[in-house]
């Protein structure tokens, strides 16, 4: 490979724009290990998320700019991913991004969205944790088929060795919930300070390991749990879940306002349970009026409920259903938004690209 051919190829690749970030893939340092041998251009593209929906775009664009070059007859791309850290401030934990999944009211399928979002991200190659922060009404253990077993504890032997709970794993996702620690038949009646302490301990006293995404399922409403989470750890952003009908949208607006007051970026809006019963389009309209991305629409289908009851999320039990495909696309959209927010925070792209 001649130096001149290498430079020509890199110059050509510098015209390929990453659609989400609005800058070229060479400036973003996404092109690695370019070699050209026997007419074949071999290189790796390092994505900002394993759940990137744009691989086909990159292939087409790279072939478009490289194949006209004399000496290049074929393009062979390998893929890697380096998820940018989206946290504000310092967190002494190897968690790249913490995503709050919230709603202004109960019954909109928020836990279902959080569960399928986490599992979809893991299915696409990301390292994912799922925290059930609905301390008073934990449902995640049932939805991922773990029941209510007690977690194993490691450490604590030495004077400075803090014991930590080992999260359970389901479908490639590390999971922790108050449901593993409390009697499922006994109601928990806790005041705000106790909730704050429990949420904080779910970060400090659990051996999460290195994660690209931590998905946190918040309880409904705009109360203590959301405030405690925002005060305890730096959040990359929040995903708002709503049903299409107006009464759900009113509460979703309150949730958006709460996260705005807490200075937590709202990544976008998800419209869940769309279809004949509740209608559709309300979530998309809400996103438009609030100048937020519309992350996706999940149809109301029985397979979603069946999967949740059986402890097998629909993206696993029936990935080819309309709901399964919608959750998969939702994960890609959320991951893309996180990349934009994280790289803007790192001053890699202009702040005005977020909107």
Domains along the chain with CATH numbers: 3-81 (3.30.300.130), 98-353 (3.40.50.300)
pTM: 0.89
**Alpha-carbon gap, residue 289 to 278, rounded angstroms:** 20
Q: What local confidence, expressed as pLDDT, does residue 188 receive? A: 56
Q: What mean pLDDT is predicted for residues 313-326?
A: 97
Q: What local confidence, expressed as pLDDT, does residue 232 receive? A: 75
Q: Please, are residues 204 and 241 in contact by the beta-carbon 8 Å criterion?
A: no
Number of helices and strands (H, E) in the chain? Answer: 11, 15
Contacting residues for 65 by C-beta, under 8 A, at least 6 apart: 12, 13, 15, 16
Q: What local confidence, expressed as pLDDT, does residue 272 receive? A: 94
The mean of the pLDDT values for the chain is 87
Q: What mean pLDDT is predicted for residues 34-63?
A: 94
Q: What mean pLDDT is predicted for residues 72-95?
A: 82
Q: How far is CA 309 from CA 83, 139, 143, 167, in A?
A: 32, 10, 6, 21
Report the candidate in 281, 337, 332, 277 with the shortest Cα–Cα distance to residue 107: 277
Question: Where is pLDDT greater, at 105 or 144?
Answer: 144
The SS3 assignment for 31 reads: strand
What is the residue whose two structure tokens read 């449901």?
A: 179
Q: Which of 47-56, 83-92, 97-106, 138-147 has the lowest mean pLDDT?
A: 83-92
pLDDT for residue 189 is more than 60 = no
Q: What local confidence, expressed as pLDDT, does residue 226 receive? A: 72
- Residue 48, both tokens: 């900002």
Q: Which of 87-91, 120-124, 318-322 has the lowest mean pLDDT?
A: 87-91
Q: Please, are residues 101 and 52 in contact by the beta-carbon 8 Å criterion?
A: no
Q: How far is CA 188 from the centre of its chain?
A: 29
Report the candidate in 33, 28, 36 with the shortest Cα–Cα distance to residue 3: 36
First and final C-alpha spacing in the chain:
43
Q: What local confidence, expressed as pLDDT, does residue 355 receive? A: 47
Q: What local confidence, expressed as pLDDT, does residue 319 receive? A: 96
């Amino acid at each position: 490979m001649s130096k001149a051919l290498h430079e020509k190829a890199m110059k050509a690749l510098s015209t390929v724009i990453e659609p989400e970030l609005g800058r070229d893939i060479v400036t973003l340092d996404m092109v690695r290990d370019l070699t050209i041998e026997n007419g074949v251009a071999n290189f790796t593209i390092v994505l900002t998320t394993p759940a990137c929906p744009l691989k086909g775009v990159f292939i087409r664009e790279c072939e478009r700019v490289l194949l006209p070059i004399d000496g290049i007859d074929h393009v062979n791309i390998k893929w890697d991913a380096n998820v940018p850290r989206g946290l504000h401030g310092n967190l002494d934990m190897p968690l790249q991004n913490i995503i709050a999944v919230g709603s202004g009211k109960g019954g909109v399928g928020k836990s279902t969205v959080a569960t399928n979002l986490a599992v979809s991200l893991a299915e696409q190659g990301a390292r994912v944790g799922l925290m059930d922060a609905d301390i008073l009404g934990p449902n995640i253990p049932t939805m991922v088929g773990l029941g209510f077993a007690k977690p194993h504890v490691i450490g604590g032997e030495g004077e400075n060795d803090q014991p930590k709970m080992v999260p359970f794993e389901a479908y490639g996702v590390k999971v922790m919930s108050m449901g593993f620690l409390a009697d499922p038949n006994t109601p928990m009646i806790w005041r705000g300070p106790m909730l704050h302490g429990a949420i904080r301990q779910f970060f400090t006293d659990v051996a999460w390991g290195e994660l690209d995404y931590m998905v946190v399922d918040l309880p409904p409403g705009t109360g203590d749990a959301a405030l405690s989470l925002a005060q305890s750890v730096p959040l990359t952003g929040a995903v708002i879940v709503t049903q299409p009908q107006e009464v759900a949208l009113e509460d979703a607006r309150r949730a958006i306002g709460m996260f705005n007051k807490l200075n937590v970026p709202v990544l976008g809006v998800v419209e869940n349970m769309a279809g004949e019963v509740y209608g559709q389009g309300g979530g998309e309209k809400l996103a438009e009026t609030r100048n937020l991305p519309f992350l996706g629409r999940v149809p109301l289908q029985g397979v979603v409920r069946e999967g949740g009851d059986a402890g097998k999320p629909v993206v696993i039990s029936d990935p080819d259903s309309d709901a399964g495909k919608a959750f998969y696309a939702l994960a890609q959209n959320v991951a893309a938004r996180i990349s934009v927010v994280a790289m803007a925070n790192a001053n890699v792209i202009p702040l005005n690209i977020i909107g």
